[in-house]
């Protein structure tokens, strides 16, 4: 059912009546119903976006979007924004192939200012926009909605530091859905902050500022009085950085939010509006600090239970179980994750050994650097992190880990295509950017059995940093098809060898893809050898040279970017050794991979078995 246009008309009013506020509250209920309806069917981010509904309605009431750009951080909070900007009906296609994105996306709507699938970028983007508006002489105001842990990353404070110095007009809405700042004095703080930011007190402050030289004693007294007020507000950090502060306010009270945002807009200064919200607001099972409702698979909204329950083990659970077993007997094993304890499986270890395993919040750089000093002190640090998020610590991988050959172990979850989260989350690049760093060892398991062996190898490897990758949902190769062989440093494994020119060479989950092709080729009477590369760095040079003598056509399977990927690594090796072979890579082309179900994405990329067989037979 489409959204009644009367609600959109109310958003553009200058003055709101009690009837208007009642209608806006009804709109909030309708939006929550629509979000729950679609997310329960498609999956997606739920609790955070339910909690931000009133904030987003108020933003649209007060500011002139897209003239005033809305910058969401992280933009999985922005579902309500999508519903208010012409996507009520198309919201049905959320996160589906060829449907709308689960994040803001400018190519989808002019009212989406920036793509934001990673955390803590909004204030920096807002500062850049504010500088541009200042140079143009424009009165536009950037509005950043930041929350869901995004303020725990250093990038946000780097931006705040400059903004507080340069004083560009900007409104930052801090969506505090963890109730973490000064709850006991919230009412007093809210009252005082509103007064401090109001026209009357602001006018007094400006007048006092102009009288500094004439009345030093009075200025001193006034300054001390204002500072004493700041000391009992939770905004002291922002005030000391040079920003105005209002809050905390009730992030579900539309009248209060709208009035506060109008006040913030009129200050024409950088200002933080601190709003306290409840995650999962409006859907009782998801309300509160329940991590399982942050990102969900399709579920029954009445029962609050997942529709597709699986008892099979995932790569993430096998990694966590293996590491936990080793941690029981090796007290030097420690672990770090960056705001993804359940996503990486480290929550089980944090619960079992809270002094040895830590969630450091959204701070991948900090996680990586501190792991280096842990390693220097003789411990065995595992950094459990998604492929897409490890990118954020690239400098630390080089400067703090690799130069000194610190034996940090990187367990790279969500490697390869992750599906509905789309281009910001696909784990395509870790092989490319890690392979170029000296002293790194790169390896990958092919199934659940060898994943536990990968954890064991990493545990005992002490000659430098190492990284192993594994997929989000499941390996393509079923456990037990091939023998469980321990990893040997820099050694590949021949899974099937025959007298043929054709070599199917897989890395990680690519082994399963190669094996599926092998079975199809055999049905056609075509023989091929199958190899698990196991190590991307260092390569098993001796074995590869031997294989090149009998196998002239190498087909490469790896869930990674083609540029800098396994195919190019092997091509460089072949060139250096003057090998007379033809290498064909079935890795990802030079383009970002959009969102959708993994199977549909693979078919689009030509990585389904039938498409691959058609390509292989063209070369043989």
User: CA nearest 602: which of 93, 97, 45?
Assistant: 97
Q: Which pLDDT does position 179 carry in this prediction? A: 39
Per DSSP bridges, beta strands 333-337 and 380-386 are: parallel
Name the residue with tokens 């204030």.
123
Report phi then psi at 171, rounded to 5: -110, 125
Residue 149 is labelled as binding a ligand: yes
Model confidence, pTM: 0.86
Residue 118 is labelled as binding a ligand: yes
Contacts of 576 (CB under 8 A, 6+ apart): none
Q: Is 279 a catalytic residue?
A: yes
Residue 364 is labelled as binding a ligand: yes
Q: Which pLDDT does position 224 carry in this prediction? A: 55
Residue 283 is labelled as binding a ligand: yes
Q: Which pLDDT does position 239 carry in this prediction? A: 87
List 392, 409, 459, 469, catalytic entry: 392
Residue 150 is labelled as binding a ligand: yes
Q: Which pLDDT does position 236 carry in this prediction? A: 82
List 82, 230, 279, 537, catalytic entry: 279
Q: Which pLDDT does position 117 carry in this prediction? A: 87
Low-confidence ranges of the chain (pLDDT < 70): 178-234, 289-291, 308-311
Q: Which pLDDT does position 221 carry in this prediction? A: 53
Q: Is 392 a catalytic residue?
A: yes
Per DSSP bridges, beta strands 466-469 and 409-413 are: parallel
Domains and CATH numbers, the chain: 5-195+243-296 (3.40.50.970), 196-232 (no CATH), 315-469 (3.40.50.970), 493-619 (3.40.50.920)
Is the link from the previous residue into 538 a cis peptide, with omega within 30 of 0?
yes
pLDDT (tens digit per residue) in 372-400 = 999 999 999 999 999 999 999 999 999 99
User: CA nearest 29: which of 12, 1, 11, 50?
Assistant: 50
Q: Which pLDDT does position 180 carry in this prediction? A: 37
Q: Which pLDDT does position 70 carry in this prediction? A: 97
Residue 76 is labelled as binding a ligand: yes
Q: Tell me the β-bridge partners of 531.
A: 494, 505
Angle, alpha carbons 431-436-440 (nearest 5°): 75
Q: Is 303 a catalytic residue?
A: no
List 108, 239, 364, 420, catalytic entry: 364
Q: Which pLDDT does position 178 carry in this prediction? A: 67
Residue 129 is labelled as binding a ligand: no
């Amino acid at each position: 059912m489409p959204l009644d246009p009367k609600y959109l008309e109310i958003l553009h009013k200058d003055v709101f009546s009690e009837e208007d506020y009642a209608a806006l509250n009804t709109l909030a209920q309708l939006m929550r119903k629509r979000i729950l309806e679609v997310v329960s069917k498609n999956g997606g981010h739920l609790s955070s976006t339910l909690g931000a509904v009133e904030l987003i309605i108020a933003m649209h009431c007060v500011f002139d979007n897209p003239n005033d750009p809305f910058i969401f951080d992280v933009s999985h909070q922005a579902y309500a924004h999508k519903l208010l900007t012409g996507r009520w009906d198309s919201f049905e296609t959320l996160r589906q192939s060829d449907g709308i994105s689960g994040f803001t996306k400018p190519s989808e709507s002019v009212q989406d200012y920036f793509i934001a699938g990673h955390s803590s970028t909004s204030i920096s983007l807002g500062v850049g926009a504010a500088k541009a508006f200042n140079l143009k002489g424009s009165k536009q105001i950037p509005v950043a909605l930041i929350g869901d842990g995004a303020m725990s990353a250093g990038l946000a404070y780097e931006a705040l530091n400059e903004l507080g110095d340069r004083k560009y007009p900007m409104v930052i809405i801090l969506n505090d859905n963890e109730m973490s700042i000064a709850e006991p004095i919230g009412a007093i703080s809210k009252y005082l902050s509103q007064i401090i930011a109001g026209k009357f007190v602001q006018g007094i402050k400006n007048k006092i500022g102009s009288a500094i030289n004439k009345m030093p004693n009075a200025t001193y007294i006034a300054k001390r009085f204002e500072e004493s007020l700041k000391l009992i507000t939770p905004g002291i950090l922002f005030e000391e950085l040079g920003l105005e502060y209002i809050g905390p306010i009730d992030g579900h009270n539309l009248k209060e939010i709208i009035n506060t945002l109008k006040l913030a807009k009129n200050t024409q200064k950088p200002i933080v509006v601190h709003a306290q919200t409840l995650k999962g607001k409006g859907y009782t099972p998801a309300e509160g600090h329940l991590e399982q409702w942050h990102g969900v698979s399709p579920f029954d909204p009445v029962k609050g239970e997942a529709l597709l329950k699986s008892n099979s083990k995932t790569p993430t659970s096998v990694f966590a179980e293996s590491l936990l077993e080793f941690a029981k007997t090796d007290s030097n094993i420690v672990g770090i994750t960056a705001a993804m304890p359940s996503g990486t499986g480290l929550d089980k270890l944090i619960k079992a050994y809270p002094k040895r395993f830590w969630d450091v919040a959204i701070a991948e750089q900090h996680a990586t650097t501190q792991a280096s000093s842990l390693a220097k002190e003789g411990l065995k640090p595992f950094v459990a992190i998604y492929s897409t998020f490890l990118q954020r610590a690239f400098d630390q991988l080089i400067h703090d880990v690799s130069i000194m050959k610190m034996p940090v172990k990187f367990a790279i979850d969500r490697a390869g295509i992750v599906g509905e989260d789309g281009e910001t989350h696909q784990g395509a690049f870790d092989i490319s950017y890690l392979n170029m760093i000296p002293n790194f060892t790169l390896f990958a398991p092919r199934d659940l059995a060898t994943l536990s062996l990968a954890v064991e190898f990493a545990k005992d490897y002490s000659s430098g940093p190492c990284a192993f990758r594994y997929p989000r949902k499941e390996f393509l190769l079923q456990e037990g098809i091939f023998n469980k062989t321990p990893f040997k440093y820099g050694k590949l494994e021949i899974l099937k060898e025959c007298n043929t020119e054709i070599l199917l060479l897989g890395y990680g989950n690519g082994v399963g893809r190669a094996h599926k092709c092998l079975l199809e080729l055999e049905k056609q009477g075509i023989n091929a050898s199958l190899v698990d590369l196991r190590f991307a760095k260092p390569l098993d040079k001796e074995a590869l040279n031997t294989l090149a003598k009998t196998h002239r056509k190498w087909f490469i399977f790896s869930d990674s970017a083609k540029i800098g990927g396994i195919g190019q690594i092997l091509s460089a090796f072949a060139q250096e050794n003057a090998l007379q072979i033809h290498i064909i890579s079935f890795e990802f082309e030079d383009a970002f991979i959009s969102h959708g179900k993994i199977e549909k994405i693979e078919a689009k990329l030509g990585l389904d078995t039938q498409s691959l067989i058609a390509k292989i037979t063209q070369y043989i």
